[in-house]
Amino acid sequence: MNNTRRLPHTWRQGRPSASSWVCEVRREKEEEKEKEEEEEEVEEQGEEKKTHTKKTLGKEKEKEKEEEEEEEKKYICLKSLGKRGGFHLRYLENT
């Protein structure tokens, strides 16, 4: 007698055929390529945003410098008022 055992039919159903396995591998490779392309697009958009933010950062820095200059002018005026009128500087800054 033959000692080999026949495998049940369900065992074959769980295994993919060679052609379907090749198709799955191709799909996975295509999906990986698409993901890489999307990541590259996101990086390119990120670089565009960075250049955009660099421009806005430059503008923000200019605005901050202007505000600081205005504050310095106010402080100088308050200092001179404090010396003339005898008021305390903190009192003038709070008002």
Residue 65 falls within a domain, yes or no? yes
5 within a domain of the structure (yes/no): no
What type of residue is 52? H
pLDDT confidence of residue 87: 53
Per-residue pLDDT band for 33 (boundaries 50, 70, 90) equals: very high
pLDDT for residue 34 is more than 90: yes
Q: How confident is the model at residue 22 (pLDDT cuts 50, 70, 90)?
A: confident
Within-domain flag for 1: no
Two tokens at 13? 């159903």
Q: Which two tokens stand for residue 8?
A: 């049940």
In contact, 84 and 76? CB cutoff 8 Å: no
**Overall domain count for the chain:** 1
Q: Report the predicted TM-score, pTM, of the whole model to 2 decimal places.
A: 0.34
The residue behind tokens 């820095």 is 61
Q: What pLDDT was estimated at residue 32?
A: 93
Averaged pLDDT for residues 80-86: 54
Structural domain boundaries, residue 47: 18-94
Are the CB atoms for 92 and 82 separated by under 8 Å?
A: yes
